[in-house]
Structure 1
Amino acid sequence: MHLVEVGRVESTHPWVGILAVMLAAFVSTLSSRLTNFGIADIGAALGASVDERAWIPTSFSVAQMLMGPIAVWLGLVYGPRRVLIVGAIVFGFAELFLPMSTSLNSFLVLHFIAGLGSGTFVPLAIGVVVRNLPKAMLPLGISVYAMNLELSLNIAATLEGWHIDHGGWQWIFWQNLPLVLGLIVCVYFGIPREPTKLEVKGKGDFWGMAFAGLGFSVIYAALDQGNRLDWLSSGLIVGLLVSGAILLLAFIVHGYRNPNAFIDFKFLTQRNIIQLVVLLTIGRLLVLSSNFIVPQFLTQVAGFRPQQVGEILLWVALPQFIIGPLVGVMLRYVDARVTLVIGMSLVIVACLAASQLTSQWSETEFVPSMLMQAVGQTMFLTSLIYFMVRHLNPIQVITFGAVVQIARLMGGELASALIQTYTRVSAQIHSNLLGIHVMSGDSMVSGRIAGFSQGALTRFGILDPANTPKAIALLSGQVGNQAATLAYSDSFLLAAATAALGLVVIMSLRSPPT
């Protein structure tokens, strides 16, 4: 299937096309992120337990992963314009009816359908940038596409807090309806109509799509639930990983034996491509260092509410409207490898600065490192996708869309699983090490307990022995907070080390083909 010619068909309304790409990428990522932030309120409304509600975000992202290969084939046969409009309609109707669900099962079904609809957005949006925008606007289109990752991930907390405080959890889904309508209008007017490719219709690599879609979806589910179920201690996680590995092995064998496989494996072996896919995965991990570690620290240690956390993440989200286009303009005159190095270096410095956090940190202390990371990550992601596009010929555009979708979702989930597991284990280690020094009878420990008992826990300055257990609980809480602080500091160091590895990979990049 990848051998079919898919040449350029330039849009007559390129600015509308750019807006369509921005909305497609924005809606796809924002929907998943909003559900993660609002899962407690959604689960409570559905009467779902903590374990049951954990499958809500998984159902959406698994559907997106499953739809990726199919969307690529549908876009090749019917054209991105038709597929994006149908996908937007399916997504919109699912989002409309989701808040009306009366049970967890019906909610999961509708959420899965919404994931299928939005699963067409990202793989086809990048194809629109490459094939339908004038070449002079290519860097700008890519910068808009890339900046949406930072924008949607970091604005979600603010939107979720606003909806919960003013309208209810239902608006987590209903807010997407005007966005979907705008997307449909922009796609209709901004993306050219293409004839149906009858020579391809009915000749798709259906086995390859099934192996890839199911294999990556199953492994994604295992990664998403692994930290909660303690990985290999769970038979479910082991079963998902083994079955996913078998399906992906079948996909690889099938792809190499089938000259018309839906993913062109020769594309993956070309100069620089493997390094660029690795860098895309690294980029997803680095994004988590701002939109996962910081919110978790502020919620767990500093006691911030979700809306307060969202206000802080705006320091990363809002500058994207300036940073993204500026990077796009810069790429017209500067080698993308130079901006990759600059962006990655800024991320390293930002992560090292944030790793100095203490339990007393709040918004003010995080702002400088977050601003620096916002600039660095946007510069890195925009330059990375632009550099990848420069390796494509028209035949490989569809393959590229599939690779970006798989790397985006799977790379993000690998990074999330790594960061969450690393932070949890690190917190346990620090808690144990700190606990060794908190011994009953130790003079400093006794003094601290006495101080708690004689402080806020007493009335009229009279020591009450009944306050001793409360004082011990306060001391235990301080130890837990300090252990969590050290764990989040370690996570920033892990992000900095990963960025340093990325810098080494960037140095290995050669110039793209002519």
Structure 2
Amino acid sequence: MESAGKHGLMGMLHLSDGPRVESTRPWIGILAVILAAFISTLSSRLTNFGVADISGALGASFDERAWITTSFSAAQMLMGPLAVWLGMVFGPRRVLLAGSITFGFAELLLPICRELDGFLVLHFVAGLGSGTFVPLAIGVVVRNLPRNLWPLGISVYAMNLELSLNIAATLEGWHLDHGGWQWIFWQNLPLTLALIACVYFGIPREPIKQDVKGKGDYWGMAFAGLGFALLYAALDQGNRLDWTSSGLVAGLLLGGGLLIIAFIVHGYRNPDAFIDFGFLIQRNILPLLLLLIIARLLVLSSNFIVPQFLTQVAGFRPQQVGQILLWVALPQFLIGPCVGIVLRYIDARILMAVGMSLILVACLVASELTSAWSESEFIPSMLMQAVGQTMVLTSLIYYTVRHLNPVLVITFGAVIQTARLLGGELASALVQSYARISTQIHSNLLGVHVMTGDASVTERLSGLSHGPLVRFGVTDPSNSVRSVGLLANQVREQAQTLAYSDAFLLAAATAVLGIAIIAMLRSAPS
């Protein structure tokens, strides 16, 4: 593969990059990668689950609390391009230490701050600090570990993305029951201290590249960081504000889109751009980036659709939802290392295809759900999801890394950050909008068959009026009014159930597209 750093700043970085710097303590380096990926994803996920309790303590309204989660992830998006540049110039070790200290300090102060504005600022700062973790983690694996440990390091990295996404509900429930909402943030302090220790002892110090220090492509980084951050905010707020019906969402989409266009034009026209877009047209790169987005959407079939169904239809509390998500989280300790070992002997494309097929079958199984489903009915599909998602994500990242030169490995970390956040938010917005529209359609279709005076409807209303209500001792004449309310609730539940079934079918169709793309992948460069 032709080097992407042929000229300008990327070329200078490539020429001064020198040989790979392997760690003398590779297992501590892998542990640093574990903690970095775990903390970054877990923090965002925990805040999503605990936002109601956090906003209650801050006295924030429903509209105000929506910006609590947006501020953290938008800051991570903003930090991605800058983290790549800083990692190239100063080395991942220095940047990860600075990011860890910044993140830990902000997490310490967040529960103490009871003013919404100050809280949002601190949460944004925490996002900036953690925004260095994911972009640099892959660089740590490839540049600091022996080549024979790459598959294992990448599998552990992917494993922790899955683990942190699916264990958050359980942790949030435990914190609320035993310590209070403050521990959503304070739990990160010991994790951050452990990360600092692992980075300090497990990642070697690299010399600062004085020849390119101070010559950063600041316009390119600003265009990319601000553009992706604005697009993320628009996607995160779009469903709440009804998309283009909101001037704010329309402005965020327009501003973010224009900045991304400016970033692309700047990158193609400026010989000193911090990234060379030429690598996008090289072998397999665009299909692999598309697969990253598809993989992120498929993750939603386990950690979004299932919790939404269980809370809105089955009436589960968040703590109970966490129990079903553990069927995806806990097997990762076994699945992740096994996938890493198998990758050393089997083509990554085969593992990707097998994993995608497992996800396809899991989605088809879950699409048969009824309003009576609870935890036990989801277990078979969740276990298939656990295996399939880890196989796909691990194999995909490993196969993509094999296409990149040393400089682009670090840059690829920013691509993963973008795919993880922006791709995940795009997928979430798509699934939420799809489920909402599907619910409305099914509700209307079901309502057509619920007609006043129809014999079956009259019989159902009579059963509701003299059945459950009587058992609870309610026998007054208003029973008929309450029975209508119960029937309307049953129609709503059935409409939501059918909508979530459709969402699983959408995920299954996406998995089919993923299998087709994998089949078209050519062999990686030698």
Q: Shift in Å at residue 260 of structure 1?
A: 2.3
Q: TM-score, normalised by structure 1?
A: 0.99
The verdict on how the C-alpha distance between 1:74 and 1:461 changes in structure 2, with shifts beyond 3 A counting, is closer
**1:292 is matched with which residue?**
304
Q: Does 1:2 align with 2:2?
A: no
Q: Shift in Å at residue 472 of structure 1?
A: 1.0
Match of 2:108 among 68, 88, 96: 96
**1:281 is matched with which residue?**
293
Q: Shift in Å at residue 188 of structure 1?
A: 0.4
The verdict on how the C-alpha distance between 1:341 and 1:462 changes in structure 2, with shifts beyond 3 A counting, is closer
- Aligned with 2:69: secondary structure? helix
Q: Shift in Å at residue 19 of structure 1?
A: 0.3
Render the CA deviation track for 1:307-333: whole Å, top value 9, x for unaligned: 111011000000001000000000000
Q: Does 1:58 align with 2:66?
A: no
Render the CA deviation track for 1:156-202: whole Å, top value 9, x for unaligned: 00000111111111100000000000000000010000111111110
2:107 and 2:471 map into 1 onto residues whose CA distance is: 54
**2:4 is matched with which residue?**
none
- 1:392-471 superposed matches below 5 A: 392-458=404-470, 463-471=475-483
Q: Shift in Å at residue 460 of structure 1?
A: 9.2
1:409 and 1:225 map into 2 onto residues whose CA distance is: 14
Q: Shift in Å at residue 462 of structure 1?
A: 8.4
Q: Shift in Å at residue 383 of structure 1?
A: 0.2
Match of 1:27 among 26, 35, 39: 39
The aligned amino acid for 2:307 is P
Match of 1:72 among 65, 68, 84: 84
Match of 2:165 among 145, 153, 159: 153
- Aligned with 2:208: secondary structure? coil
Q: TM-score, normalised by structure 2?
A: 0.96
Q: Shift in Å at residue 456 of structure 1?
A: 2.6
Match of 1:383 among 395, 416, 432: 395
Render the CA deviation track for 1:229-262: whole Å, top value 9, x for unaligned: 1111111111111111111111011000112212
Work out whether residues 2 and 399 of structure 1, in 8 Å CA contact, stay in contact via their aligned partners in 2.
no
**2:497 is matched with which residue?**
485
The aligned amino acid for 2:518 is I
Work out whether residues 272 and 509 of structure 1, in 8 Å CA contact, stay in contact via their aligned partners in 2.
yes
Gaps of 5+ in 1: none
- Aligned with 1:392: secondary structure? coil
Identical aligned pairs, as a percentage? 75
Work out whether residues 454 and 461 of structure 1, in 8 Å CA contact, stay in contact via their aligned partners in 2.
no
Work out whether residues 232 and 422 of structure 2, in 8 Å CA contact, stay in contact via their aligned partners in 1.
yes
The aligned amino acid for 2:514 is G
Work out whether residues 34 and 156 of structure 1, in 8 Å CA contact, stay in contact via their aligned partners in 2.
yes
- 1:313-328 superposed matches below 5 A: 313-328=325-340
Work out whether residues 24 and 121 of structure 1, in 8 Å CA contact, stay in contact via their aligned partners in 2.
yes
Render the CA deviation track for 1:80-109: whole Å, top value 9, x for unaligned: 001101100100010011011111111100
Q: Shift in Å at residue 463 of structure 1?
A: 4.7
Match of 1:259 among 263, 267, 271: 271
The alignment of Structure 1 onto Structure 2 pairs a total of residues equal to 514
Q: Does 1:269 align with 2:277?
A: no
1:499 and 1:262 map into 2 onto residues whose CA distance is: 34
Q: Shift in Å at residue 464 of structure 1?
A: 2.7
Gaps of 5+ in 2: 1-8
Match of 2:487 among 475, 483, 494: 475
Work out whether residues 71 and 120 of structure 1, in 8 Å CA contact, stay in contact via their aligned partners in 2.
yes
Work out whether residues 367 and 501 of structure 2, in 8 Å CA contact, stay in contact via their aligned partners in 1.
yes
- Aligned with 1:312: secondary structure? helix
- Aligned with 1:38: secondary structure? helix
- Aligned with 1:512: secondary structure? coil
Q: Does 1:191 align with 2:203?
A: yes
The aligned amino acid for 2:206 is E
The aligned amino acid for 1:495 is A
The aligned amino acid for 1:112 is F
**1:370 is matched with which residue?**
382
